[in-house]
Amino acid sequence: MSTRIQSLQARRIWDSRGRPTVEVDVHLDDGTMGRGIAPAGASTGSNEAIELRDGGTSFGGYDVQKALANVMREIAPAIIGHDALDQRAVDDTLIALDGTSNKARLGGNALIATSMAVLHAAAASQRLPLWRYLLNTTAAPDDQSVILPLPEIQIFGGGAHAGRRIDIQDLLVMPVGAQSMAEALAMVAEVYRAAGDLMADAGRRAGVADEGGWWPDFANNEEALQMLTRAIEKAGYRHGEVMISLDIAASEFGSGGVYRPGLEKRAYDTGEWIEVLLRWLATYPILSIEDPVAEDDTAGMIAFTAAVGHKVQIIGDDYLVTNAARVRDAAAQKACNAVLIKPNQAGTISETFDALQAAKACGFSTIVSARSGESEDVMISHLSVGWNAGQLKVGSFARSERMAKWNELLRIEEGLGGRARYAGADVLPLVGG
């Protein structure tokens, strides 16, 4: 039967922070259906796709009735009749219909939920798991190997994810020494538990942050790094087996070349702030740093990459906002060596894929990522596998909207049996370099 889009339905549902978000169902002529849910970030790059919120007093201004109306009144008539198997054509229609550079007219949340729903529907129509459908449609015939991603998993939340209790937004671990996804997640479970026990013993276990990491009850940023290093050791792992990844999210406390981290009680210029980061790198088992300086500090990104880009993964998130052109520019300038891939930053699945492909062509590492406001949707688990991204960042090892995605990878690995290969340190040529 036909895989043309027959109808759409949009509704308001609730994300992991209890805020409204957009859910879209796409129904095809053959009776199959796909569902997409728009995630939402807390710290956002100024150049990413704009969520359309209602403003006013309802739900703190976060309601999405305007975005829902746009799905039904404008988006649905524009894409009904399109073939769901032609994702590019559907997404190009959405982009042209919105007509803005940042999806501000119809709303990035309306567009990404629709784009995701179309992709889910297409896979369902072919009776394939999404990761396999993606691999079949986006990989070359001789590039059909299935790689399970190296996880980046938050142990301590911070920044905008924890009331700015500390300045570092995410303190995460990377189980580079694991041999399988099952082993990788078991290793993280032990580190997460050890960190909780250490905080409890110190009388500092105050709860969890937005993404499920332990609430950061620390006197300063470095104390958090010390505690995470201790947790890795308490869990029984050497630094070469479990490494630290930091999301600095420096745009949250820096701009114009001046950095004012709240816990440091002083201002730094770019050079001084980079010196702080270099000292941390020399002291702790840190393998990856995301947004080390602010999104407007290209000179700082270039300087930091020149200093340590040969041995540390330097990720652009707010700096690159899942944008292919920005990725190519950053590669030309040697301003980082990896990119975070967030579908809702781009606004459509096709633009997300373009950013990932641009990064691979430039020799960058690619990390598919969730947002702090998430749902039960597990698409990004499938994107990380089907696109052979190599890495996945979901948040912490707690809360069901996070664990749904990690558990989905376990199911994929089990279903593949001996054909699955865990990325591990293979996706990080910098390890040991």
The residues that are catalytic are: 211, 342
Report yes or no: 420 and 148 within 8 Å, Cβ to Cβ: yes
Sheet holding 254-255, edge to edge: 254-255, 258-259, 268-269
- The total number of residues shown for the chain amounts to 433
Alpha-carbon torsion angle 368, 369, 370, 371, nearest 10: -140
Strand partners, 171: 156, 246
Single-letter code of the amino acid located at 414: E
Label residue 404 exposed, middle or buried (CB < 10 Å: 0-12, 13-18, 19+). middle
Single-letter code of the amino acid located at 178: A
- Longest Cα–Cα distance of the chain, Å, equals 65
Residue 279's contacts (CB-CB under 8 Å, 6 or more residues apart) are none
380 token code pair? 């990004």
Show the CA angle centred on residue 256, arms to residues 250 and 259, nearest 5°.
40
Alpha-carbon torsion angle 113, 114, 120, 122, nearest 10: -170
For the chain, the 3-state helix, strand and coil shares in percent, each to the nearest 5, are 40, 20, 40
Report yes or no: 174 and 149 within 8 Å, Cβ to Cβ: no
